[in-house]
Structure 1
Amino acid sequence: MEMKLQPQPHVLLLPFPAQGHIKPMLTLAQLLCHAGIHVTFVNTEHNHRHLTQRESLSARFPTLRFRSIFDGLPSDHPRSISPYFLDIVTSLRSTTAPLLHQLLVSLASKTNDDIGAAAGDQLPPLSCVITDGLMCFAIDAAEEVGLPVIAVRTSSACSVWCYLCLPKLIEEAELPFGDEDMDKTVSGVPGKECLLRRRDLLSICRMPVDHPVFKFFMEEHIAITRASGLILNTFEDLESSVLSHIASKFSKIYPIGPLHALLKSRVDDHDLSSSSTAMAASLHREDRSCMTWLDSQRPGSVIFVSYGSLVKLTRVQLLEFWHGLVNSGSHFLWVMRSDVLSDEGEHMRHVTPTELEMGTKERGFIVDWAPQEEVLAHDAVGGFLTHSGWNSTLEAIWAGVPMLCWPQVADQQVNSRWVGEVWKIGIDMKDMCDRTTVEKMIKALMGGEEREVFTRSVDRFSKLARASVSESGSSYHNLEKLIQDLRNL
């Protein structure tokens, strides 16, 4: 008797509308499609228009379809997470949530007519929603349609555990706190009682507990535990102790990071270079001229400087960093986004000091955006001055590059504490930004006595990351479990 093939599942992926969330979610989409699963990837209309290489990704992965949904904001809204975060999340909850419900009803129907499907290619009914953990209105929408939900947190496990402990921190009167005694340790994060100081907690912990942004994150991390599972972009050997705590809150957790590396290990495609995956998920146009400049530099001599896609600097901060970089004597590649200044337009109004122009001409290279994974993998790069965003931290660990951390928002303060104190793969420079400190820290990172400790430690974690995405590795195995669980739905 001929066996009937079981149809492949169809999942909808919903990222939070920011570069650092879209990139790992789109990598996850490619991994699922490679396993034959149908994926509908839903961006806001604004980000859908700006996402590069949609067509080439759809051609490479025939079961990947892109859809867009209205975010409720006027067309001329800047949609910058900083300082418009509340605008964005309020609009998503009020306008996007009901539109998502309508889309789920349509895709869950056995007769759904998907506009992205080729003629005669009937898309199977939607079987699961995989939502970003900051889009928990999707849990309500999915439950109303009768669909299971798996959540994704694109930040570190250590920061997720801190978010989940917010109620406990309030209950134990460790939140809120004032500006005084920022080095006081906190005990309300089980398992990390002697590690975290007030300054190392999530950036929202510096707000009043009734602040709308604090309340948003607290509500989302209470809601997220209703999901049937949690996907994390990390690996067991990196965050095992924290993962065991998180596992107490969810029936299933899937640590499958580093996602960008897992994709390369799973997809045997010579066209799938680090540049093509990065570009596919980028809302910024990369300037590849920096790669030619790096080719002309000595091995390990360059410090790469990037504050990610969201962090803003004042002009004073930018000049302090610039002086520190030039005075350190190191060669540097600096991603200086056109929108990096918090005081818009200030960049053009002031003349750059002559000594900075001369120092940059001699030893520096500045671009608006760089192919970060390729830059970190380049032999010339010996250090990374970073905002400690989780994608950047994982990419540096994978490449074996020690870090100088200057965290600003969200999970970054927690990540930088782990970099400096737990993993010992770099220096935590949080809450400091003067040229003397920047110069001193760069010299320590690039050639000080501690450098050998950093490089030895980051090399060890880099090897563990590579092992995790190999066929016998934990992340590879956890992805297999996720795929099987989706098929069993």
Structure 2
Amino acid sequence: MSSEYSGAAAPPHILIFPVPLQGHVSSMLNLAEIFCLSDLHVTVVLTDYSHRRLLRHGGLHSRFSRYGGAFRAATISDGLPDDHPRTGEAIFDVVMSLREVGGEQFRRVMESSDGASRRRVSCLIIDGMMSYTLPVAAERRIPYFIFRTISACAFWSYFCTPEIIAAGEMPLRGNDEDKLTYWRKKEMDFPVTAVPGMEGILRRRDLPGLLRVNDAANLSLQAMAAETKATTKANGFILNTFEDLEGPILDQIRKHIPNLYSVGPLHSHLKSRLESSGFESSQKNSSSFWAEDSSCIDWLDSQPIGSVVYVSFGSVTMLTRDELFEFWYGLVNSGIRFLWVIRPDSVVGNRVGDTIPEELEEGTKRRGHMVEWVPQSTVLGHPSVGVFFTHSGWNSILECVAIGLPMICWAYFVDQMTNSRFVSEVWKMGLDIKDTCDRVIVENVVREVMEVRKDEFLERARAMSIMARNAISEGGSSFVNLNRLNEFLKSTTQR
């Protein structure tokens, strides 16, 4: 695609700003590439840290080189030192720091994004918790969209925070010092009745992580609630989901935000549109912040079909040493083959311990394979993989839905608590073991999904996969919504 345009003929110019975490950046880059395929110009704003990781491990340049000047990455500082961990609960430091330092940097990015070879920015698409960017959009009189990269069900739970508080269903009783014991108490299984469309589904333990607090004045909770409600003021709202997956919840959201675009699963949608445009899929050029070890594919090739549990708890989850060993014992004791991703920084203290029990070492040699990071889309699509043991991040769940793969869900925080409940109780694609970390439970659920109820979960997962494929096919709900979004963005140059 040529990047040479006269000022009058230059395409619309969309500026996209994701929260600088791998799952958010991945979704936003998929949307950005779809826009490039639709002859739009795109600038994606990345933090210096995210940009370095993508250049080193994610193939950012090679992925977008085919679009010439239509794609540009702009960078800002997140205000944190280079050695900040940016994992686990520390990710909130990134969000809060950007709220302090991001405003003026964003203004400079907007000004520098106007160039001779591209139009002035004509529309802004921002992630959640980024209202500090909106004064610039107002000054320039350009429309803006909110793209929340979480599930509709998690977003809707956040949206209903005032109603949940008014109903007395939060704050939760207890105290921070006792929370590990407290989460297991009976109250956590009390139903949540104040979220329309989720009656009979949601329990208090299924509320998103920021709602699982014992003080309604919690600053993070209040900030998220305010940002979520402010979505009603945007020109439109984008979600990476599809109607057959979350239709009833999307209908609830539309009562407050009518101009809603459900366009997912975006990774599948992008692949389909690349193929339709005659391009090779760029899915091999991932949005990974970590070096991918493809040696695991050789190991998978040597395993029987559907025999392997793939275990990965995502890009920011932190495990304690005790949690690590409970999962490890459960996997080994199940007798099922497993491929387990353990990031170098994923264990608190950055070390497993001086000694590993002999039975774990021997069990892993016989039936397991452990790596630091993998090309996840390739692994999930491998015929040897029978189930995904996941942290319930939204991108991971959508990958399973698109492929038709059952799940075991161990939610870590934020939206994952709600996602895991919907996997087990609404979509019935697997089991939810949030708030537990016990080797016996792990052993039992692995056997249940891989052996006892294997056919049941596979049948349901494959049915969901067909729905996902229909959604992104010509005439499908996500296909139509994405075209509608493209048409609006193209019209912004005339506004």
Q: The residue matched to 1:308 in structure 2 has which SS?
A: coil
The aligned counterpart of 2:390 is: 386
* CA distance in structure 2 between the aligned counterparts of 1:419 and 1:151, rounded to whole angstroms: 25
The aligned counterpart of 2:438 is: 434
Q: 1:142 aligns with which of 137, 140, 148?
A: 137
Code of the residue aligned with 1:103 in structure 2: it is: V
Code of the residue aligned with 1:345 in structure 2: it is: N
| Aligned 1:31-110 pairs, distance under 5 A | 31-51=34-54, 52-62=58-68, 63-78=70-85, 80-107=86-113
Q: The residue matched to 2:189 in structure 1 has which SS?
A: coil
The aligned counterpart of 1:118 is: none
The aligned counterpart of 1:211 is: 218
Code of the residue aligned with 1:388 in structure 2: it is: S
Shift of 1:97: 1.3
Q: 1:413 aligns with which of 400, 411, 417?
A: 417
Q: 2:152 aligns with which of 157, 176, 196?
A: 157
Q: 2:246 aligns with which of 239, 261, 277?
A: 239
1:172 maps onto 2:167 in alignment: yes
1:286 maps onto 2:256 in alignment: no
**1:190-210 CA-partner distances (Å, limit 9, x unpaired):** 111211111111111221222
**1:85-111 CA-partner distances (Å, limit 9, x unpaired):** 34222221111112112322443xxxx
Give me the CA root mean square deviation. 1.6
Q: Structure 1 residues 248-257 or 354-363, which shifts more?
A: 248-257
The aligned counterpart of 1:325 is: 331
8 Å CA contact 1:105–1:145 kept in 2: the answer is: no
8 Å CA contact 2:405–2:461 kept in 1: the answer is: yes
8 Å CA contact 1:467–1:473 kept in 2: the answer is: yes
* CA distance in structure 1 between the aligned counterparts of 2:66 and 2:422, rounded to whole angstroms: 37
1:272 maps onto 2:281 in alignment: yes
Q: 2:378 aligns with which of 374, 378, 382?
A: 374
The aligned counterpart of 2:234 is: 227
4+ residue stretches of structure 1 with deviation over 3 A? 4-7
* CA distance in structure 2 between the aligned counterparts of 1:314 and 1:33, rounded to whole angstroms: 42
**1:68-125 CA-partner distances (Å, limit 9, x unpaired):** 01212233333x1423234222221111112112322443xxxx33xxxxxxx61111
* CA distance in structure 1 between the aligned counterparts of 2:132 and 2:40, rounded to whole angstroms: 24
TM-score, length basis structure 1: 0.93
Q: 2:343 aligns with which of 337, 341, 352?
A: 337
Structure 2: 5+ residue stretches without partners: 1-6, 174-181
Code of the residue aligned with 2:293 in structure 1: it is: D
* CA distance in structure 1 between the aligned counterparts of 2:370 and 2:119, rounded to whole angstroms: 48
Shift of 1:271: 3.4
* CA distance in structure 2 between the aligned counterparts of 1:74 and 1:7, rounded to whole angstroms: 39
8 Å CA contact 2:102–2:132 kept in 1: the answer is: no
The aligned length equals 468
* CA distance in structure 1 between the aligned counterparts of 2:301 and 2:456, rounded to whole angstroms: 27
Q: Structure 1 residues 295-304 or 90-99, which shifts more?
A: 90-99
8 Å CA contact 1:203–1:413 kept in 2: the answer is: yes
Structure 1: 5+ residue stretches without partners: 114-120
* CA distance in structure 1 between the aligned counterparts of 2:279 and 2:354, rounded to whole angstroms: 46
Q: The residue matched to 2:205 in structure 1 has which SS?
A: helix
Shift of 1:275: 2.1
Q: The residue matched to 2:386 in structure 1 has which SS?
A: strand
The aligned counterpart of 1:26 is: 29
The aligned counterpart of 1:129 is: 124
Shift of 1:186: 1.0
* CA distance in structure 2 between the aligned counterparts of 1:410 and 1:421, rounded to whole angstroms: 19
Shift of 1:64: 0.8
**1:141-187 CA-partner distances (Å, limit 9, x unpaired):** 31233221101011111111101111111122211012441110011
The aligned counterpart of 1:200 is: 206
Shift of 1:398: 1.0
1:403 maps onto 2:403 in alignment: no
TM-score, length basis structure 2: 0.92
* CA distance in structure 1 between the aligned counterparts of 2:397 and 2:244, rounded to whole angstroms: 15
Shift of 1:5: 8.0
Shift of 1:388: 0.5
8 Å CA contact 1:101–1:142 kept in 2: the answer is: no
* CA distance in structure 2 between the aligned counterparts of 1:5 and 1:445, rounded to whole angstroms: 58
* CA distance in structure 2 between the aligned counterparts of 1:368 and 1:479, rounded to whole angstroms: 35
Report sequence identity in percent.
Answer: 43
8 Å CA contact 1:45–1:71 kept in 2: the answer is: yes
Shift of 1:430: 1.0
The aligned counterpart of 1:117 is: none
| Aligned 1:109-128 pairs, distance under 5 A | 112-113=114-115, 122-128=117-123
8 Å CA contact 1:136–1:224 kept in 2: the answer is: no
Shift of 1:6: 5.6
Code of the residue aligned with 1:124 in structure 2: it is: R
Q: Structure 1 residues 423-432 or 65-74, which shifts more?
A: 65-74
Q: Structure 1 residues 81-90 or 183-192, which shifts more?
A: 81-90
